[in-house]
Amino acid sequence: MTDQEQRLRIAVQKKGQLADKSLQLFEQAGLKISRGANDLLYRAENFPADFLRVRDDDIPQFVASGACALGIVGENVLQEDLPDLQADTVDVARPLGFGQCTLKIAVPNEMTYDSVQDLAGLSIATSYPVLLRQYLSERNVAASVVEMSGAVEVAPRLKVADVICDLVSTGQTLAANGLRAVDTVMNSEAVLIRHTGEKTLYPEDLIARLLRRIDGVLATRETKYIMMNAPESALDDIIEILPGAGSPTVTPLAGEPGQVAIHAVCQESVFWETLERLKAAGSSAILVLPIEKMML
Ligand code: ATP
Ligand code: ZN
């Protein structure tokens, strides 16, 4: 019998928000991934790694069990699944700077909301019962949690629940359903997770080599200077969308009352997604420029 070459198995989302960017990260790290006939498993041609393509909800379990050495998943999904996983079998190896989204509480437009205490006695529909229950119990709020696997935003209209707790990116889905976001339960991004259980199924040196390459990719991602015009009233929304931008510079536009120019330093890794969200929030004339030198 010949020695089989030991290969890393890496769990990635098959289809959805994280699917393309997950594979791109490994490609930027130099892996040639052949999208072969086997839809479930893609193979890297020039590195001993294979990509298991699954639903994102299954990824924490695949890594915790050791079936995969590494995986990429939204931090929201990891945190939601943690209580179901055997302790000390998985940890976050690297935050990846894409897949940003926010888990929010949203209420019907006509409902008054001053603080989280207003949720007491209400029913809240969500696909994230673990995260929501943690949020409520940390604030000593007694509310009932209605678990739904999707289409959470229609729950108040259908009288399935009073309010919702759901992932929000532009807020458009909320608006279309007569809802408004009032509180943040969690800010999330994609993370690289690693198996940390007893049985070391994979060679450490191979994982270390891959992590070094990924660190290289993350470090060399260029920052960009982003400029746009927007109604001053949209400023809060826009600042929330700009990731890691610190305090942007805001100046009035001559001859256009109520309009401002916004300048900020932003990460390229969220560039297109960010642009789309900025536009949806009311920005126009959005420009993105490379930064040649920067001193902080
Ligand atoms: P699956 O079929 O794999 O179960 P899904 O429908 O549960 O997919 P997606 O909508 O593809 O999941 O989202 C996957 C993850 O991407 C989410 O858990 C979240 O971390 C992140 N995400 C969700 N919405 C966005 C968004 N608009 N922009 C960026 N990232 C997002
Ligand atoms: Zn899912």
* CA–CA gap between residue 264 and residue 243 (Å, rounded): 10
**Is domain 8-98+190-220 annotated with CATH 3.30.499.10?**
no
Give me the amino acid identity at 62: F
* CA–CA gap between residue 248 and residue 230 (Å, rounded): 13
The whole-chain average pLDDT of the chain stands at 91
Ligand 1 is surrounded, with C-beta below 6 A, by 13, 15-18, 55-57, 74, 76-77, 99-101, 167, 169, 188, 273
State pLDDT tens for residues 155-211. 999 999 999 999 998 889 999 999 999 999 999 999 999 999 876 677 889 999 999
**Backbone Cα Rg of the chain:** 22
| β-strands 163-168, 123-126 pairing | parallel
CATH class in words for 101-188: alpha beta
CB 46 within 8 A of CB 32: yes
Q: Do domains 101-188 and 224-290 have the same CATH topology?
A: no
Helix axes 19-28, 204-220, angle to 10 degrees: 100
Per-domain residue ranges for the chain? 8-98+190-220, 101-188, 224-290
CA of 23 to the centre of ligand 1 (A): 15
| β-strands 123-126, 144-147 pairing | parallel
Ligand 1: which of 56, 58, 166, 269 to mutate, most ligand atoms within 8 Å of CB?
Answer: 56
DSSP state of 52: E
pTM: 0.77
CA of 134 to the centre of ligand 2 (A): 20
CATH class in words for 224-290: alpha beta
Residue bearing the CA closest to ligand 1, atom 2: 55
CB 56 within 8 A of CB 16: yes
